[in-house]
Structure 1
Amino acid sequence: MTADLTITDVRLTPVLVSDPPLLNTQGVHQPYAARLIVEIVTAGGITGFGETYGDTKYLDLARPLAEALPGRQVTDLNGLFALAATVEVDAARMGSADVGGQRGVQTADKLRLSVVSAFEVACLDALGKARELPVHALLGHKVRDRVEYSAYLFHRWEQHPGGQGESDDWGAATDPAGIVAQARRFARDHGFRSFKLKGGVYEPAEEIAAVRALAAAFPDAPLRLDPNGAWSVPTSIEVAEELRDVLQYLEDPTTGTPGMAEVASRTGVPLATNMCVTTFPEIPEAFATGAVQVVLSDHHYWGGLGRTRELAAVCRTFGVGLSMHSNTHLGISLAAMTHVAATVPNLDYACDSHYPWQSEDVLTGRLTFRDGCLDVSDAPGLGIEVDRDRLAVLHRRWLDDDGTMRDRDDAAAMRRADPGWVAPSVPRW
């Protein structure tokens, strides 16, 4: 008997998850990051899970969408996108805050896509469970059994200012030696074989030194550097020339497609982006001008797993490399990311993941990296199980928060250490 796939209920559970004091050009991560867990329940008693950003503006979009879904089929993904397009956006509440990486003003369409991504994943999870198929099978089946990930290195403090947040045993990393020590631990504990450093924190010369130290410590490892657009075009060119012999690619050294195109035309270092190409309308200019050689997809930004596969096909058509971007996320998003990555033939580079930095999750068991890879689950749906007790604890933290942690603000977090801090405009250097 075929299970009834009519949606009967949609549950939204915002949570606050512990986040370490990781530094970037805008400031430092807050002690807790907001995520939104989406549950879609069918008439047949099957529940599917999705996850996305939990900031207030995403909740404002998710709530009316959740209210409109009951009575629809989990298979109607095209209808899901059409329905999301009708959700009204309060421009004043939307503001210009970033979704987690200095990507500037977020349009209503971009916000909708990040919200819809969680609903689409939840529908696919429920559908996979109903049909006893893994999500990757619903996307055309996997082309690889394991997906490779890259270690994500950060300059960081030992603890948050004022003793806020949860403690960890990583210690500080504010110089090249600290970055190398961090990389050695990632390699030891998770087997990562490539490394990405979040830059834009210190003067370019200091970050060049950190990359050089990594190259000396890991002479055969692919290395990436991402300053989140903190540099001018001339500075970007200088750094690219300094590191051209050791970088696999340089990610978003400067802001905007024209600036990226100029840097690309004047250096031999491949440029990657998850800033100037985050939607399909941004592709033509970037590809026509040669501004990017690698697109870092993110199923949240692009609207889910199906659209990530569409992006992969476009990149394949134009000979542009593909990898995957990451932000602070839990195991639901990582599982979804792994399923879609397993189906993409032209996954040219190891994917990013913040997951090893996250000490908390809503799953019954953490996803485990082996040799820097995640095995692709063949269990029905996403192949994960949510721990209801843990979900409740993290939701209670969100409920108890006074509002200061519900919206990401790296500059505000930095002001706890430096009251005079103002998020710098870019380029910084």
Structure 2
Amino acid sequence: MKITHVDAIPYRIAYRKPLRFASGEVHAAEHVLVRVHTDDGIVGVADAPPRPFTYGETQRGVVAVIEDLFADQVVGASLLERESIRARLDRTVGNPVAKSAIDMAMWDALGRSLNLSVGDMLGGYTDRMRVSHMLGFDSPAAMVDEATRMRDDYGITVFKVKVGRRPVSLDTAVVRALREGLGDDVELYVDGNRGWTAAESARAMAEMADLGLTLAEELCPADDVVSRRWLVSRLDIPFVADESVTTPAEVTREILGGSATAVSIKTARTGFTGSMRAHHLCEGLGVDVVMGNQIDGQLGTACTVAFGAAFALTSRRAGELSNFLDMSDDLITEPLTIRDGELAVRPGPGLGVEIDPDKLAAYRIDR
């Protein structure tokens, strides 16, 4: 189970409609497919979705750091040497998505080698998760229509609503329209992507106090330390740290510092190994967890549901697992299917997914 080669293949697949939110917008999945090859002929895969407006990584940067630095640091190592490889990669600052994709591709390769699923190797708590759908900026009518379609077609009844615009009334009106249009049987929560100040956030949450929201995520920047703590102390629902918890150390800082009361775990930025560390911290500290979405394609979503279903804490809430539905195509041979508001973990060794070589050839942009 020695690693012999690492590929980093950039590709581009358009979205049917852009996803817009406070920190940016995405018109296409401009991701990097990472493949880890072993001397047994096994190939593990994972997806790296760069988000320059959040972590500073770009598609070209992910390819460059893997090809120029990381590949040489993992080739020759065993798939079991995860801690050693993590230490080598951490000599390079940042690059969370590139590091995470290598980590997850190694887990996939290990599962294929041992004929075990990644979900079972991680914990195997359950085999499915409820699905939350993320709604980007649009008019109130369009967002209600999208949510209604997701409920009618896929049985999804949990929605994360992107907010963070100015004036705040733009977004509070949208959330109110969603509640009135969908009724009381759906769960709604909001994500500001750091778009408001703490004062604006407090005003918005007061305006929405009667709408039964269940979570509020990253309404204002974590760097606004005093005002953010003030905001969190005023809320009567969990405040989710997302962009501010890219490492286990940041999880500790945000929770113990009073800047958040819940955590979003994204396998795209902490891999499986780092996500386990974040999970165990949250479990020990007694804080809620949401499995987040980095605007993942189906491969990234397969990683998220495999991890989220592996533990009781991460499977408790609906995971953000549906935004691949907005992509015009994908790379895997058998599409993921959401039924009755749930997504099942793929059976089979590793992640249980295969890359379609013809689609990869059609969408890769390095040739």
Q: What is the TM-score with the length of structure 2 in the denominator?
A: 0.90
Aligned to 1:362: 331
Q: 1:25 is matched by which residue type in structure 2? A: A
Deviations 1:250-276 (A, max 9, x none): 111111143332111123232112122
Q: How large is the RMSD of aligned CA atoms in angstroms?
A: 1.8
Aligned to 1:376: 345
- From 391, 397, 406, the equivalent of 2:360 is 391
1:253 has 2:219 as partner:
yes
Aligned to 1:81: 86
Which secondary structure state, in structure 2, belongs to the residue aligned with residue 343 of structure 1? coil
Which secondary structure state, in structure 1, belongs to the residue aligned with residue 18 of structure 2? coil
d(CA) in 1 for partners of 2:77, 2:257: 43
d(CA) in 2 for partners of 1:204, 1:277: 25
Residues 86 and 206 of structure 1, relative CA distance in 2, 3 Å threshold: closer
Instruction: Describe how 1:263-282 pairs up with structure 2 within 5 A.
Output: 263-282=231-250
d(CA) in 2 for partners of 1:41, 1:278: 27
Which secondary structure state, in structure 2, belongs to the residue aligned with residue 183 of structure 1? helix
d(CA) in 1 for partners of 2:338, 2:217: 24
- From 20, 23, 43, the equivalent of 1:23 is 20
Deviations 1:46-74 (A, max 9, x none): 11111113522222221121234332211
Task: Check conservation: 1:252, 1:260, Cα contact below 8 A.
Answer: no
d(CA) in 2 for partners of 1:335, 1:27: 24
d(CA) in 1 for partners of 2:237, 2:295: 27
Aligned to 2:54: none
Instruction: Describe how 1:266-345 pairs up with structure 2 within 5 A.
Output: 266-302=234-270, 304-345=271-312
Residues 208 and 116 of structure 1, relative CA distance in 2, 3 Å threshold: same
Q: 2:71 is matched by which residue type in structure 1? A: A
d(CA) in 2 for partners of 1:351, 1:33: 20
d(CA) in 2 for partners of 1:219, 1:85: 46
Aligned to 2:40: 44
Deviations 1:296-326 (A, max 9, x none): 1112222x11221221111111121001221
Q: Which has the higher strand share?
A: 2
Q: 1:282 is matched by which residue type in structure 2? A: E
Deviations 1:122-153 (A, max 9, x none): 1111111111110112213x111211220111
Instruction: Describe how 1:118-197 pairs up with structure 2 within 5 A.
Output: 118-140=101-123, 142-155=124-137, 174-197=138-161
- From 170, 175, 191, the equivalent of 1:211 is 175
Q: 2:298 is matched by which residue type in structure 1? A: G
> Aligned-pair distance for 1:194?
0.5
Q: Which runs of 4+ in 1 moved over 3 A?
A: none
Aligned to 1:166: none
> Aligned-pair distance for 1:384?
0.5
Task: Check conservation: 1:229, 1:252, Cα contact below 8 A.
Answer: yes
> Aligned-pair distance for 1:383?
0.4
* Unaligned residue ranges in structure 1 (runs of 5+): 88-107, 156-173, 401-429
Aligned to 1:350: 318
Task: Check conservation: 1:15, 1:37, Cα contact below 8 A.
Answer: yes
Task: Check conservation: 1:328, 1:358, Cα contact below 8 A.
Answer: no
Task: Check conservation: 2:251, 2:278, Cα contact below 8 A.
Answer: no
* Unaligned residue ranges in structure 2 (runs of 5+): 51-58
Deviations 1:371-426 (A, max 9, x none): 2211122311100011011011110xx237xxxxxxxxxxxxxxxxxxxxxxxxxx
Which secondary structure state, in structure 2, belongs to the residue aligned with residue 21 of structure 1? strand
Q: Which moved more, 1:197-206 or 1:216-225?
A: 197-206
1:14 has 2:10 as partner:
yes
Q: 1:319 is matched by which residue type in structure 2? A: G
d(CA) in 1 for partners of 2:254, 2:32: 31
Which secondary structure state, in structure 2, belongs to the residue aligned with residue 253 of structure 1? coil
Q: 2:108 is matched by which residue type in structure 1? A: D
> Aligned-pair distance for 1:14?
0.8
Q: How many residues of Structure 1 are paired with residues of Structure 2 in the alignment?
A: 351
Instruction: Give the % identical residues.
Output: 26
> Aligned-pair distance for 1:27?
4.8
Q: 1:298 is matched by which residue type in structure 2? A: K
> Aligned-pair distance for 1:288?
2.2
d(CA) in 2 for partners of 1:200, 1:147: 28
> Aligned-pair distance for 1:350?
1.1
